[in-house]
Structure 1
Amino acid sequence: MNKNISAGWRDFHASAKVYYLWLALGWVEIRQRYSRSKIGPFWLTISMGILIAALGVVYGTLFKADLKSYLPLLAVGFVFWAFISTTISEGCNAFIAGSAYIRQMPLSRGIFVFQTIWRNIVILGHNFIIVIAVLAIFKINFLPGLAWFVLGFLLLVVNLFWMSALLAVVCARFRDLPQIITSALQVVFYITPILFKRDMLSKYPLLIDLNPFAHMIEIVRGPLLGEPVPAVSWLACTAMAVVGILICLAFHGRYRSRIPYWV
């Protein structure tokens, strides 16, 4: 086990050292996706902004919620859920998408995981304009909780990193898994407090307490909205990060040499 963890650590450390490579690969891929487009990734921002506004009005009316408190809750939750779900879905295909490089060059495997995370952080930066706009419109001062938000975001990225790295290996071996995981994420969306408030499921607390994505959303949304984050959310995300990284390193160290044959 220790030998596998060490091997996994060396691969990810070597990948982190060539940051200029995965930064460039991620940026080039975004530019290729939106080549010849005048506003590029901002099309995603516009469509997401329209969707959030529509969902806010519809579900706010159904839940009889005050739009002033409901729309910021929905906007922040939806933007970060898009970041989480897209990162995990694309993480499943990280090695498959980079198969041409993996087969021909002796590159560290972690490069393609870093590339996936970086690319989605850039897209999140575009969509974060929606969050800033909503907070400004409803006059919510997020500056007092900014430090906690940064801490929560870093913790979120660490969790997404090990999830993406682990799933990238498994999905390279079992090609049906990406579709299964994408479908599962759609189900998880509806039981995660994004469209509704956490206390609306007070009769079924286990749906929240045992839902890791609920805690991941909570540690970034709470500080931005000036709301206290439950201690259980910080503990859950920290525990997931520590245990997940160790499992990911061991798994990656054991199977990384087989990836070129699987892709």
Structure 2
Amino acid sequence: MFSLGFVDLKESIASWRLWTLLGWLEVRQRYARSRVGPFWLTISTGVLIGSIGMVYGTLFGQKLSDYLPYLAISLVMWGIFSQTIIEGSTAYINSSAYIRQASTPKLIFMLQVVWRNLVILAHNFLIVLLLLAIFGVKSWVTLPVFIPALILYMINALWIAMVAGLLSARFRDLPQIIAAIMQIAFYVTPIIFRPVALTRFSLIVRLNPLAHLIELVRAPLIGEWPTPITWGVAIGMAVFGWIFALALTGRYLKRIPYWV
């Protein structure tokens, strides 16, 4: 079963022109006839970061020069992770017309979701760059670590989206449940607060794998090195998660057209 899933992944990656085109067209259609286009996402995200930063920075007694970059990186990176999973859960359902009419590799539609959200990340990341330019880069040495960290981060997001999409095609109530779970995960993951703020309930952070994933991509940008535990959790999740996701995909690959 794993081999069938791996073959589908290989064929999907080889069809990169198709899923990059579909993902790019979705972004363009969403903002068709808009003068600002996808930069509305950047504007709305910037307003959200500014308002939350002013309020929670004051409540937590944080210096804005430290807290705003921390918050911006956290929200932007959490946004691509959660949206990849939420949109991945409905990827097969929303692409049912293509799946029923054409024999294509199924993971194309998952890669399309990832590509679309990477395009959105490119727009929102301008906020992070602006704040780093205003408040200064804490450490130029750690910045290059962000690239492999981001790749590993998205690899984990992709396998979770694959599992969510497959199960949601079979059980149609799951997309709403997944969206609710991601909302809960947002509040128990150190995104708007720092991990050290949870003195009494520090286990919430230590035992939360999403806390390690968000720290993996956030730490290099705020001048810190991701800890070996963070790397270990992220790599372990990727290895075991992809084995499980590909095995599950291979097992139920041929049933997807009937489910959608």
TM-score bracket, normalised by the shorter chain, equals over 0.9
Which residue does 1:261 correspond to in 2?
Answer: 258
State yes or no: 1:205 paired with 2:215: no
Q: Structure 1 residue runs of 4+, over 3 Å off? A: none
1:37-71 CA-to-partner distances (Å, cap 9, x unmatched) read 11111101101101100100000111111111111
Which residue does 2:123 correspond to in 1?
Answer: 126
What is the 5 A alignment of 1:28-177? 28-141=25-138, 143-177=140-174
Task: Give 1:141 shift.
Answer: 4.5
State yes or no: 1:187 paired with 2:200: no
Q: Secondary structure at the match of 2:172?
A: coil
Task: Give 1:148 shift.
Answer: 1.0
Which residue does 2:7 correspond to in 1?
Answer: 10
Task: Give 1:230 shift.
Answer: 2.1
What is the 5 A alignment of 1:209-224? 209-224=206-221
Aligned partner of 2:105: which letter?
A: S
1:64-101 CA-to-partner distances (Å, cap 9, x unmatched) read 11111111111100111111111110000110111000
Aligned partner of 1:165: which letter?
A: M
**Count of equivalent residues:** 260
198-207 vs 241-250, which deviates more? 198-207
Q: Secondary structure at the match of 2:141?
A: helix
CA distance in 2, matches of 1:212, 1:96: 28
RMSD: 0.9
Task: Give 1:143 shift.
Answer: 3.3
Task: Give 1:231 shift.
Answer: 1.8
CA distance in 1, matches of 2:105, 2:193: 42
Gaps of 5+ in 1: none
Gaps of 5+ in 2: none
Q: Secondary structure at the match of 1:143?
A: coil
Q: Percent identity?
A: 48
